[in-house]
Structure 1
Amino acid sequence: MPNETPIQRRRRLATNSGITYLSSDFAHVCKAKPDRIGIVAEGDSWFAYPKKWIAFGADMNIVHHLEAKVKQTDTVNLLRMASNGDEAVGMTSGKQLKTLYKVLKKNRDYVRLLMFSGGGNDIVGKNDMLPLLEEYTGQTDFKDCINMPRFEAKIEAIVLAYQRLIWLCEDVMPNAKIVTHTYDIAKPWDQGAEFFWGLIKSKPWVYPYLVRRNIPRKFHLPIIEFMLNEFANGVTHLAQQQAAGGRLVVTPTQYTLRPGSKKDWLNEIHPTEDGFEKIFKKVYAQMRQVEPGLPK
């Protein structure tokens, strides 16, 4: 439109689509369209994994698929806050928690869903996985290759992060719900990420640490399956507690994808477009149970 400033144009486009990455624009859109369902999406790469050409290509994360479903439907105002590599503990403490608190408090009259993806990187992150593993010295049970005291403490820390989210909603927007997922069973394999036709590459996230600890391949999948199951059990148990007040909605997404299938998995810990779509459909079904006004 003529005579628009760059900010005015950006906010007009955000109001039209209902989607923005900027908290200031989100506040503007919420006030302009207060009857829409306000959604804040905070999380890790399962909410933020880039498209093949960064800005172009197939929908490569859960929120990409959500955008495709709700964009320009006049039903949703969506703020995307997720960032690759984020951990649940980090997102619910310090500067990141302060930022999330400000966003939710400022828009408390409009936000009805907080989408959250966190916990996976707390286990398989660069500085997290190795300390959870024991050196292989002939153990016959895969669980003996896990440092259980450290792993149990890690799960407690992740569950506490989710508890902080519950408290945050209780204090700031008691009528809102938190919708999360439990990832899926990622089979360790020597496949990292690639972008721009392979010009940019990353190493695998899990496999190198299992190899470094000399853990035999037959134990690789059982170890990760056990760890992710324990994560899922922890957050699911928290959601079921009376003290949670029904605010945490956990989507059971494990065993949706086939471990190691190249049709379902793009690399070691990230699904393909089709894989993410399968996960999204389950998450979105839970979201629609909470907010039936979302598009079918």
Structure 2
Amino acid sequence: MNVYWDEAGLKFAHVTPSILAIGDSWFWYPFPGGSLVSHLGPVVERKEHTILAKGMNGAEAFDYVDGKYKDEVTRALRLYGSSLSAVFISGGGNDFAGFNDMRPLLRLDCSTASTAADCFRSGDGGLSVFLERMDQYYRRLVGLIYTHTSLSCLIVMHSYDYAIPDGRGVFGGAGWLKPALVAAGVPDQLQRDCVRYLIDQFHQMLTTIASGDPEHLLVVDSRGALAESDWANELHPKGSGFRKIAKECWKPLLEQAELA
């Protein structure tokens, strides 16, 4: 095993992490089949890398720099930063998933919209402000990583995939996307397009950040990697879906970066 979820496991195994994975449920998904990090472990194992995961299910980008995981992320960087070859980041999905997060991004009434872009609010509280906020949190996290790691350390971000707003939650609960789309009156034929538009805008934000230091900032583009049957619910792939993304999207980039 080369993936650890706490320092106790590291100490017992007498190993030091070479990759820090800071993330949300895509890194921490607790159900059978594993998370994305579970399947990234074997990808980097041949290069003798050890991954330590920080964060938790439900984590938002804010949490890594100002919220509940700020202290443990900072502590991990202080302890292990000099030995890290890479930091993987998964954040932002929970910032727009959920009725209270998604609904404010949408217009009050989208029933007459003809495109996905028409459904999103502009100005204060709208999509552009949301993306500016995500940009700020990511840049602050990147800056924090820079200050605690060597010049050769790589930072790898990812853009999730086009989630399907079909109302499926966990254990039969309500989904995170469809309720807000329905409340906003988004026509059925535009609901998937709205999610695609949101993910595309998020991906563009990440690539803009990465363009500032393309030698050290990398973005895994996993959009469109999953088939409908690969999803367990509105936000999370099945274990086989995570494995597909790890092998088809992350592995080529990590091999190019000599991390796999």
Fold shared by both chains (TM-score > 0.5): yes
Distance 2:238 2:67 in 1: 33
Q: 1:83 to 1:94 in 2, by over 3 A?
A: closer
Aligned to 1:182: 159
Q: How does 1:111-260 map to 2 (within 5 A)?
A: 111-134=84-107, 135-149=109-123, 150-174=126-150, 175-194=152-171, 201-241=172-212, 244=213, 246-258=215-227
> How much does 1:25 deviate?
4.8
Find 2:78's aligned residue among 102, 105, 111: 105
Shift of 1:126: 4.2
Q: Deviations over 1:239-259 (max 9, x none)?
A: 012xx363221011111123x
For 1:88-99, list aligned pairs within 5 A.
88-99=61-72
The structure that has the greater radius of gyration is: 1
| Residue among 49, 52, 56 paired with 1:83 | 56
- Number of the residue aligned with 1:22: 6
The answer as to whether partners of 1:87 and 1:121 remain within 8 angstroms in 2 is yes
Cα distance, 1:113 vs. partner?
A: 1.2
Greater relative contact order (CA < 8 Å, ≥ 6 in sequence):
2
Residues 120 and 180 (structure 1 numbering): CA distance in 2 closer, same or farther, change over 3 Å?
same
1:158 deviation in Å? 1.0
| 1:119 positional shift | 1.2
The verdict on how the C-alpha distance between 1:180 and 1:245 changes in structure 2, with shifts beyond 3 A counting, is: closer
2-structure distance, mates of 1:142, 1:67:
37
Q: Distance in 1 between matches of 2:257 and 2:112?
A: 49
Say if 2:245 is the partner of 1:265: no
Name the residue aligned to 1:5: none
The 1:75–1:131 alpha-carbon spacing in structure 2 relative to 1, beyond 3 Å, is same
Q: Deviations over 1:252-291 (max 9, x none)?
A: 1111123xx1x22111121122221121112133223223
Unmatched runs of 5 consecutive residues or more in structure 1? 1-16, 52-56, 195-200
Partners of 1:272 and 1:245 in 2: CA distance: 31
1:40-55 alignment runs, 5 A limit = 40-51=20-31
The alignment's TM-score, normalised by the length of structure 1, stands at 0.78
Letter in 2 for 1:154: F
Deviation at 1:87, TM superposition (A): 1.1
Cα deviation, 1:150-204, whole Å, max 9, x if unaligned, reads 110111111222211221122111331111211111121121122xxxxxx4310
- Aligned residues of 1:204 and 1:268 also touching (Cα < 8 A): yes
- In the alignment, which residue of structure 2 is the partner of 1:58? 33
Provide the C-alpha distance between the structure 1 equivalents of 2:119 and 2:103, rounded to a whole number of angstroms. 11
The residue matched to 2:69 in structure 1 has which SS?
helix
Alignment CA distance shift 1:19-1:124 (3 Å): closer
Aligned length: 255
Q: Distance in 2 between matches of 1:33 and 1:80?
A: 14
The aligned amino acid for 1:140 is: S
Identical columns (%)? 29
Structure 1 residues 136 and 18, CA, compared in 2 at 3 Å: closer, same or farther?
closer
CA distance in 1, matches of 2:250, 2:184: 35
How high is the TM-score relative to the length of structure 2? 0.88
Query: Which SS does the other structure have where 1:184 is aligned?
Result: coil
Distance across 1 between alignment mates of 2:80 and 2:33: 31
